[in-house]
Structure 1
């Protein structure tokens, strides 16, 4: 009977040790898992910030391109007006020279 009791005590000690080891491994796994979840959440938040910044830069870039196109169109219009004014001035000079030449 003593051998059976000793054997049972040994089994109980082994089971107790295994339960303790598994409990520690489980706690360590849970801790690692929890840390990984926090890390993933932080990375997701950082990605979301970067996405918002990229969208803002794209919007700003589009607005800049539109402003540049408007500016170039305004420059083209100004050049056309200057050329028209110069043509009118040249025509006026020719008319003045013709009037002066015909009255002599």
Structure 2
């Protein structure tokens, strides 16, 4: 019976060691899980903060993009206005060029008429001097 008690005592000792080992392993696993869980929560908080920063940046970029589109629309409208004014100025320049050419043509005709009148006057003067001689 002593042997049985010894055997039983040894078996109980083995069971106690196994239970102690399992409790130690479970305790470490639980501690690791808690640590990972805590780190995961800190990571989630950091990720949420980063997401919030990115959202604010996106909103700022969208606002800037809208302002850029509005500035582009104003710039395009101003460009069209300038193009229209250039067209008006080109038309006025062509009209002034035609007027200048018309004035030059009239001046040339007047000069030719004056030269013809002067030539006629010389001829008359020569005839008058030739008849009196």
Task: Provide TM-score, normalisation by structure 2.
Answer: 0.63
Q: Give 1:22-61 correspondences, 5 Å limit.
A: 22-61=54-93
Rounded to whole Å, the distance in 2 between the matches of 1:96 and 1:77 is 28
Aligned residues: 101
Unaligned runs of 5+ in 1: none
Rounded to whole Å, the distance in 2 between the matches of 1:88 and 1:6 is 120
Query: Do structure 1's residue 96 and structure 2's residue 128 form an aligned pair?
Result: yes
Rounded to whole Å, the distance in 2 between the matches of 1:89 and 1:14 is 109
Large movers: runs of 4+ above 6 Å: none
**1:35-64 deviations in Å (ceiling 9; x for gaps):** 111111122122222212222222211111
> RMSD over aligned Cα, in angstroms?
2.3
Rounded to whole Å, the distance in 1 between the matches of 2:49 and 2:76 is 40
Unaligned runs of 5+ in 2: 1-29
Query: Do structure 1's residue 87 and structure 2's residue 119 form an aligned pair?
Result: yes
C-alpha displacement at 1:82, in angstroms? 0.3
Residue 50 of structure 2: aligned partner: 18
**1:1-41 deviations in Å (ceiling 9; x for gaps):** 89387566545534432332222111111011111111111
